[in-house]
Amino acid sequence: MKRTITHLADGRELFYYDRRDDADRAALDPRDLPPRPPASQMRYDPLMDEWIAIAGHRQTRTHLPAADECPLCPAHTASEIPSDYDVAVFENRFPSFSFAEGDFPDPGGLSAARPGVGRCEVVCFTSDHDASFSSLAPDQVELVLAAWADRTAELSALPGVEQVFCFENRGAEIGITLPHPHGQIYAYPYVTPRTRHMLDVAARHRGGNLFADVLAAERKGPRVVAANEHWTAFVPAAARYPFEVHVYPHRRVPDLPSLNADERAAFGPLYTGVLRRLDALFGVAMPYVAAWHQAPVRYRRDLAYLHLQLFSVRRAPDKLKYLAGSESAMGAFVNDVTPEEAARMLRESAVTT
């Protein structure tokens, strides 16, 4: 893999990841861009013991542009990427977290405030606008994994960063703003509530590692969707969403940089197969969120176990699961599809190549 670092017209970093060592990435960004936005502000919620990012500048971010104005397609007047690419990563133009300066009022009351330091990056999986992650060749998936691992390592070393989160949102039903196949990376200035809660629960678990014990139990049960020598994909016993799949490496590692070459090579064929099964369920491109759970930079890293959480809000060909009163207000999920039935449907789904 060849990595090339360059800069966009407003100073943001752009990284090219190429399979070929002779790839030429000398093209410059010719655009006249406005100054970068100020930093977001973190505000503390004393009732929930959580930090919330306030980022008003994101209201003006690009929203569902025409295909010929897609900022992730290479080398045109609206593009963030001035040359063709294999995989490209760049600093988000409208970040939720950054190291820019900002001037914010004191929220008062029992809240507290601090700068929203951190970083947000966009990961372009391919230059092909009409592709999807499920259509990527195994070597392209490996290149994406290499980019995720590289960015995780570098972002984890930035001052003030406590957790690095790689994820993909896909589909209008999820709320995407760009249809080009891409994901994002958030480098948070705090440990996110879900991660902190999972690790706190793992700390109370008696016996071995909680995540490893869950994986071992699921590998023997009826909810396995797919498996190979290094990975298992299964529907969790208490799935929150109609179709939710967790993908675990068999070897416990804390984060993406810790995967070895064999594990990286084995991931793509299994994961893209699961995605194709998901699309084949109802004969439509399924909306989904794919979220990598990695160890935080410092907090309870010894308990963490890298895994991918994939879930869709579609529960039937013409029906979505909306997070309404119980889920949105109380955080109390009710799932309309039994996990065992979801696993069976995914196993039996007709997979196209």
The third-level CATH classification (topology) of the domain covering 195-348 is: HIT family, subunit A (3.30.428)
Tell me, what's the pLDDT at 62? 78
**Residue 128 neighbours by CB under 8 Å, 6+ apart:** 181
User: From the candidates 182, 246, 293, 307, which is the catalytic residue?
Assistant: 182
pLDDT band at residue 101, thresholds of 50, 70 and 90?
confident
User: Structure pTM?
Assistant: 0.95
Residue with the larger pLDDT of the pair 101 and 221:
221
| Contact call for residues 109 and 90 (beta carbons, < 8 A) | no
**Cα 22 from Cα 20, distance rounded (Å):** 5
Q: Is 182 known to be catalytic?
A: yes
pLDDT of residue 353: 46
Predicted confidence (pLDDT) per residue in 255-278, tens digit:
999 999 999 999 999 999 999 999
Q: Looking at the predicted structure, is the pLDDT value of residue 247 above 50?
A: yes
Percent of the chain with pLDDT over 90: 83
Average pLDDT for the chain = 94
Kindly give, in sequence order, each residue whose CB lies less than 8 Å from that of residue 26, ignoring residues fewer than 6 positions away: none
- pLDDT above 80 (res 352): no
Picking from 16, 141, 162, 184, the residue whose alpha carbon sits closest to that of residue 88 is 16
For the segment 39-50, the average pLDDT, to the nearest whole number, is 93
CATH number for the domain running over 2-193: 3.30.428.10
Q: 232-264: string of b/e by CB count within 10 Å (b at 16+)?
A: bbbbbeebbbbbbbbbbbbebbebbbbbeeebb
* Segments of 182-277 assigned E as strands: 182-188, 224-227, 231-234, 243-249
As annotated, the residues of the chain forming the CATH 3.30.428.10 domain(s) are: 2-193, 195-348
Least trusted range by pLDDT, from 24-28, 63-67, 224-228? 63-67
Identify the CA nearest to 34 among candidates 62, 7, 9, 69: 9
**261 or 177: which carries more pLDDT confidence?**
261
Residue 351 has pLDDT above 70, yes or no: no
**Mean pLDDT score, 314-331:** 91
- Residue 285 in contact with residue 352, Cβ under 8 Å? no
| Angstrom distances, CA of residue 75 to CA of 20, 79, 100, 259 | 19, 6, 27, 33
Query: Using 50, 70 and 90 to split pLDDT, how confident is the model at 104?
Result: confident
